[in-house]
Amino acid sequence: MIASIKYNSKNYKIDLSKPLDISIPLLGGDKNVNAWYLEPPKIEPHKEGNYIGKVSEGASTNFNYIWFNPHSHVTHTECFGHITKEFHSVNRNLKQFFFFAEVITLIPESFGEDLVITAELLQNSIGDKNPEALVIRTIPNLPNKQTKHYSNTNPPYLLKDAVEFLVKKEIAHLLIDLPSVDKEKDDGALLAHKAFWNIDSNPRRNATITEFIYVANDIADGSYVLNLQVAPFENDASPSRPVLYRIFE
């Protein structure tokens, strides 16, 4: 199915029958991706007396509970309410779901004992393009990103000036294949989150950060249409399923 999209007075086409899913599914158990020092998520049937909500155990339906934290266990999209005293829901602040996006691949640079993404790396990759959304794939890009346990590993992160560069380019939606845009242990500074949402002056209420994506190696760098599908949870963050579509004229 071919869809036509108009952006900046120019018409583009995408093939809706060829989605490129860049989300990590929730599995439950130790093989699930994990961060922030939590136990694995659980997917278990409801139990009540002799009743077990599982067809293989005699029930008429499968009837599962799911215990998880979106920040730790699954691809998730968060809004500025992630770092505010007041409650703000990603479900209420994200009201559009299709965006023109740029996929880039970066090798984080050494910065003391850390690996970081700098403004210069972003500038060299994006150039003069001004996408609504930016999808960052980091190297190395192995399949184990979908099952890795990140706690106490000090993953790469974005420097504050890198995020400020994205804000100046008016990129509203940032997607990355890491557990956070910030350093794992930063004493609560959250410099990248605060800079991206401009939290100290005029918060960018419609801007989102999506973490724990996985961009397969056969997805080339370049321009795409992004469908940012978010579960309608009234929470600062929600499980999400970002899907890319290749563009052709």
Please state, in angstroms and rounded to a whole number, the distance separating the CA atoms of residues 83 and 132: 22
Residues 58 and 79 in one domain: no
Would you state the pLDDT for residue 218?
97
Residues 207 and 171 in one domain: yes
SS3 of the chain: helix, strand, coil, percent, to 5:
15, 35, 50
Would you state the pLDDT for residue 192?
98
Domain that holds residue 51: 26-72
Would you state the pLDDT for residue 10?
84
Looking at the DSSP assignment, which residues form a beta bridge with residue 51?
A: 48
Would you state the pLDDT for residue 1?
86
What's the domain count of the chain?
2
Residues 213 and 233 in one domain: yes
Would you state the pLDDT for residue 4?
87
Domain final residue, candidates 40, 72, 104? 72
Would you state the pLDDT for residue 162?
98
Would you state the pLDDT for residue 204?
96
Would you state the pLDDT for residue 237?
98
Q: How would you class 1 by CB atoms within 10 Å of its CB: exposed for 0-12, middle for 13-18, buried for 19 or more?
A: exposed
Would you state the pLDDT for residue 184?
98
Please state, in angstroms and rounded to a whole number, the distance separating the CA atoms of residues 79 and 207: 7
**Amino acid making up residue 205:** R
Question: Which residues of the chain fall short of a pLDDT of 50?
Answer: none
Which pTM was predicted? 0.96
The bridge status of strand 173-176 relative to strand 133-138 is parallel
Q: How would you class 127 by CB atoms within 10 Å of its CB: exposed for 0-12, middle for 13-18, buried for 19 or more?
A: exposed
